[in-house]
């Protein structure tokens, strides 16, 4: 879920002699900088962020882990993860002059989410045979990249109005930035065993964003981890993508397979995908800390297109035009219609294997047969696999009818 088109400020970061002068002035004005940091938090709350911290940008301790992860090939075909090497762990090389990161988080659970939301999500995951589509919670509303970028830009503008021009650059899941490492370094939470950021008061159902700045603001301390002996996220993973605490093989992760992966989904991982057709929330749903997950304060993350209760057959029937129109402004649109059909074909194959309803099975077969002649070989391959999932006891003349 990486968008590598990172917008830059119209004001370039200061560096060299000008930056040294800024550091010198700031060192004698720490009360003023502390006041600026406090005001940044207040402005952030007004813009919909539920917490903002200031982090030092020295991530030297994370470099070896990043290089080892890449060396193992765990990033799969996310080539951009390796393209910048250790620069991902060196924000000051990415944006010269950077000395601090303003790290922010924004919750995305819709405001209408009830207290039993985790139970409801697990029930949906169990409804494979009923044809229910499971779409990651974060993707049911508006594209978070656009929302957070806009809000972070507004925050940066407010800072500039208060203190004058300064060097900065806004990021939201974009460019080579180690977001979780920066956020945990600034005390926004700790890295959970599933590798996501966790917070005792807010769980993990939030987006992260950063503003790299040339202001030596006072930094916030890191917080202690509170996962303890819990390993629920590891045990629940449908594809065993979490190899051990803090080590994820993205090539097995359903979020990677349904969003980032461009080719055929490995056959061994198709059945475990169940009805997860875009993303996967299992490791977050099972996490005890998410009973404290915050609700979104912005309507942008309200559910669109009924994606919290969608039917796979109906979604599979969308033409490319419908896909683009219905999902305009949605993060899902980024994967394109071809991969959307690929993912749904896998879900429908699993539903065909699981359903005990003859009418449901017939509807699934008809939907799949309608795509057998699709222009894309990728789609055709997954449709053929899906049709082959029908149990032999139901196979026969009627089962083969389109």
Q: Is residue 173 marked as binding?
A: yes
| Catalytic position from the list 50, 173, 199, 300 | 173
Pairing of strands 206-213, 168-171: antiparallel
370 near 345, Cβ under 8 Å?
Answer: no
Radius of gyration of the chain (CA): 23
Would you say 283 is a known binding-site residue?
A: yes
Is residue 88 part of an annotated ligand binding site? yes
208 is in an annotated binding site: yes
Q: Which two tokens stand for residue 56?
A: 């030092």
Contact 310, 124 (CB under 8 A): no
Contact 62, 181 (CB under 8 A): yes
Q: Is residue 280 annotated as involved in ligand binding?
A: yes
Asked if residue 253 belongs to a known ligand binding site, the reply is yes
Task: Judge whether 237 is annotated as a binding position.
Answer: yes
255 is in an annotated binding site: yes
Cα–Cα dist 7/169, whole Å:
7
Estimate the share of the chain in helix, then strand, then coil, as percent rounded to the nearest 5. Answer: 50, 10, 40
Residue 187 · residue 221 · CB < 8 Å: yes
Give SS3 for 10: coil
Q: Rounded distance, CA 352 to CA 262, Å?
A: 24
58 labelled ligand-binding = no
Tokens 């219609």, residue located: 337
Distance CA 53, CA 102 (A): 6
197 marked as binding residue: yes
Question: Does the annotation flag 79 for ligand binding?
Answer: no
Nearest to 139 by CA among 315, 379, 371: 315
236-254: b or e for each residue (b if 16 or more CB lie within 10 Å)? bbbbebbeeeebbbbbbbb
3 is in an annotated binding site: no
d(CA 260, CA 241): 15
- CA–CA separation, 261 vs 254, rounded Å? 10
Residues in the chain: 402
214 given a catalytic annotation: no
For the chain, the straight-line distance linking the first and the last C-alpha, in angstroms and rounded, comes to 36
Q: What are phi and psi of 15, to 5 degrees?
A: -155, 180
Active site residues: 173
Q: Residues forming the annotated binding site for tRNA?
A: 262
Q: Residues forming the annotated binding site?
A: 88, 173, 197, 208, 227, 230, 233, 237, 253, 255, 262, 280-281, 283, 287
Q: Residues forming the annotated binding site for cob(II)alamin?
A: 88, 173, 197, 208, 255, 280-281
Q: Residues forming the annotated binding site for [4Fe-4S] cluster?
A: 227, 230, 233, 237, 253, 280, 283, 287
């Amino acid at each position: 879920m990486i968008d590598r088109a990172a917008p830059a400020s119209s004001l370039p970061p200061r560096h060299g002699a000008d930056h040294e002068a800024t550091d010198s002035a700031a060192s004698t004005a720490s009360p003023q900088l502390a006041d600026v940091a406090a005001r940044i938090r207040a402005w952030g709350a007004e813009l919909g962020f539920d917490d903002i911290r200031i982090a030092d940008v020295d991530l030297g301790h994370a470099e070896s882990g990043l290089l080892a992860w890449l060396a193992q090939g765990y990033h799969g075909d996310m080539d951009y993860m390796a393209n910048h090497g250790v620069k991902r762990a060196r924000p000051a090389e990415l944006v010269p002059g950077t000395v601090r990161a303003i790290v922010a988080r924004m919750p995305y659970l819709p405001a209408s989410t009830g207290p039993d939301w985790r139970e409801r999500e697990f029930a949906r995951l169990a409804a494979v045979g009923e044809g229910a589509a499971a779409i990651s919670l974060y993707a049911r509303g508006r594209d978070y990249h656009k929302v957070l970028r806009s809000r972070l830009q507004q925050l940066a503008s407010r800072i500039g109005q208060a203190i004058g021009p300064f060097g900065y650059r806004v990021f939201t899941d974009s460019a080579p930035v180690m977001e979780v490492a920066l956020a945990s370094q600034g005390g926004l939470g700790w890295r959970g065993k599933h590798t996501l950021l966790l917070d005792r008061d807010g769980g993990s159902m939030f987006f992260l964003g950063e503003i790299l700045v040339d202001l030596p603001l006072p930094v916030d301390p890191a917080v202690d981890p509170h996962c303890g002996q819990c390993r629920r996220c590891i045990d629940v993973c449908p594809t065993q993508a979490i190899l051990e605490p803090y080590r994820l093989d993205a090539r097995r992760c359903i979020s990677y397979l349904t969003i980032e992966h461009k080719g055929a989904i490995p056959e061994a991982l198709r059945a475990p995908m169940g009805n997860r057709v875009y993303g996967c929330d299992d490791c977050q749903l099972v996490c005890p800390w998410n009973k404290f997950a915050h609700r979104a304060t912005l309507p942008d993350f309200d559910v669109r297109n009924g994606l919290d209760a969608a039917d796979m057959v109906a979604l599979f029937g969308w033409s490319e035009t419908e896909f683009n129109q219905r999902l305009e402004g949605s993060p899902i649109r980024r994967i394109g219609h071809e991969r959307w059909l690929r993912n749904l074909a896998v879900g429908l194959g699993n539903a065909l294997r699981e359903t005990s309803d003859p009418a449901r099975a017939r509807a699934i077969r008809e939907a799949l047969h309608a795509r057998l002649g699709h222009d894309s070989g990728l789609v055709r391959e997954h449709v053929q696999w899906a049709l082959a999932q029908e149990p032999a006891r139901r196979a026969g003349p009627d089962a083969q009818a389109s």
